[in-house]
Amino acid sequence: MLLTGLSLLLVAIIGGLTLEVLGEKAMRNLSLILAFGGAYIMGLLFLHLIPEAFSFDSIAGTFVLIGFLAQIFLEYISKGLEHGHVHISKNNNSSNVMPWAAIASLCVHAFLESMPLAEGAVAVNTMGHVHVHVHATTAIGSALFVGLALHKLPVALVLMGLIKSTGATKLVRWSLITLFGLMPLAGMYLYDGIIHSASVSSGSVDQILAATNGLVIGILLHVSTTVLFESEEGHSFNIKKLIATLFGLGIAYMTLT
pTM of the model: 0.85
pLDDT grade for 86, boundaries at 50, 70 and 90: low
**Distance in angstroms (rounded) separating the CA atoms of residues 102 and 105:** 5
**Distance in angstroms (rounded) separating the CA atoms of residues 62 and 73:** 17
User: What is the distance of C-alpha 254 from the center of its chain?
Assistant: 21
Mean pLDDT of all residues in 33-43: 92
Query: Helices (H), strands (E): how many in the chain?
Result: 10, 2
Asked if residue 251 has pLDDT above 90, the reply is: yes
**Distance in angstroms (rounded) separating the CA atoms of residues 122 and 134:** 7
Task: For residue 243, give every residue at least 6 positions away whose Cβ sits within 8 Å of its Cβ, in sequence order, or none.
Answer: none
Asked if residue 190 has pLDDT above 50, the reply is: yes
On average, the pLDDT of the chain sits at 83
Extents of the domains making up the chain:
2-87+94-256
Summarised one tens digit per residue, pLDDT across range 95-143 is 477 889 989 999 999 999 999 888 643 444 444 444 444 443 357 768 8
Question: Which of 213, 243, 254, 38 has its CA nearest to residue 117?
Answer: 213
Determine which helix (DSSP H) or strand (DSSP E) holds 144, and give its type and residue range.
Answer: helix 143-165
- Whether 48 contacts 213, CB under 8 Å: no
